[in-house]
Amino acid sequence: MEVDRIDLLLERYLHLLHEYTTLREQLSTLQTGMYQNIARANFAAERGMRFGQDFYDERMQASRKLAITPAGGNDDDNNQEHIPVPVFAIAVAGSTEPEVSEKGAATASTTTDDGIRDEEGGKEEEEETREPSPNKKERRNDDPLRWFGLLTPMPLRQAQAQSIQAVEQVIPKLVSVNAQMAQVEIEVRRARKKRAKAEAAAIKQEQGVGAGAEITA
Amino acid sequence: MASHADYKDRQFLAVIGDEVMSRTPPDSQKNFLVVDNKTETSAIEAAFESFTTQRKDIGIVLINQHIADKIRHRIDTYTSAFPTILEIPSKEHPYDPEKDSVLRRVRRLFGE
């Protein structure tokens, strides 16, 4: 029955692989768009200004936070040893923690983290206008887009929106799928080992029976 | 599964990448390294070591694939569950499935 189990595992693995390649394509598309938009913004910029590291704010804080939760193993039926496969998710640091803003600005500034590129912010702004919160003003100032001046060009905003999408949606899924794939790989190897052992035992038994037959003959 | 125990503290992404990929640090510690053609490989390795081994608050390390190539031996021998490493394309270096460590694992599983 080990063979069936290996087949099942491999089938699951191929589904995960498909998901992985699809996500990879999404990420590539987003990143291509992002780079094009940054190039466009730089092309149209005044007096040779370049949107880059020179404008980074040294006081920058993370505005996206990562949350890792162990899923209850995989839903595989006859899986005896459940090893929790981590699931990765990204949340906007400020909006998910309203209690932080109530505790005070000081705590808010230490707990807000960010995993965000320099070209992100347009989307954040939209989110803020949709749901106004007490720390609205603080977060607005944290927007990395502000590093490049008040009137940031549209392509730069678009690039930011694209990289937010990559960070919030594609990247956590990619690493989660990767973790699941790694888990299935372990299970496949285990099942193969078991099968090899069973085969070896069967051969031994056969040989034993054969030898026994010879002796009696 | 000791490595699973500390996942809750891993709230940050770290980045080793070219300029447009840079991200922001928590408090005073930077969680990114901006790599250009003047950056020494030893500096990349040091950042990788810091993000993966020394710091316990990093959950994902994003690294541009062409930069990962420079420390390929480190990437390939890295086996911890956390932080997880994700190689991503950069502006001048599109995604190359041949070099993708995940797809290399796939090939290994299918016995190539």
Q: How far is CA A17 from the centre of its chain?
A: 15
Closest chain B C-alpha to A122 CA, distance in angstroms: 16
| Element at B86 (helix H, strand E) | strand B84-88
Q: Given this model, what pLDDT does residue A11 score?
A: 94
**Which of B20, B31, B59 is facing A117, going by the closest CB pair?**
B20
Quote the CA–CA distance of B60 and A166 in Å, as a whole number: 14
pLDDT tens track for A115-161 = 334 333 333 333 333 333 444 444 445 677 776 766 777 888 888 88
Domain with B69 in it:
2-109
pLDDT tens track for A180-191 = 999 999 999 999
Quote the CA–CA distance of A160 and A185 in Å, as a whole number: 36
**Which of A38, A62, A175 is facing B60, going by the closest CB pair?**
A175
Quote the CA–CA distance of A29 and B89 in Å, as a whole number: 10
Token pair, residue A152, equals 């940031």
Place of tokens 């040779």: A48
- Is position A216 within any domain? no
- The pLDDT of A8-19, averaged and rounded, is 94
- Is position A121 within any domain? yes
**Which of B8, B23, B88 is facing A115, going by the closest CB pair?**
B23
pLDDT tens track for B89-108 = 888 888 888 888 889 889 99
Token pair, residue A48, equals 């040779």
Q: List the beta bridge partners of residue B14.
A: B61
Whether pLDDT at B45 is above 90: yes
B91: nearest CA in chain A? A35
Domain with A13 in it:
2-210
B3 touches chain A (CB under 8 A): no
CATH of the domain at B54: 3.40.50.10580
ipTM reported for the complex surpasses 0.90: no
Torsions phi, psi of A89, nearest 5? -145, 150
Name the DSSP class of B33. Answer: E
Please answer whether residues A177 and A88 qualify as being in contact, where contact means their C-beta atoms are separated by less than 8 angstroms. no
How many domains does one find in chain A? 1
Quote the CA–CA distance of A165 and A153 in Å, as a whole number: 19
- Is position A217 within any domain? no
How many domains does one find in chain B? 1
- Is position A181 within any domain? yes
Question: If contacts are CB pairs under 8 Å, which of residues 80-119 in chain A contact chain B?
Answer: 83-84, 86, 88, 90, 110, 113-119
Q: Which residues of B touch A67 (CB under 8 A)?
A: 11
pLDDT tens track for A103-116 = 333 333 333 333 33
A187 touches chain B (CB under 8 A): no
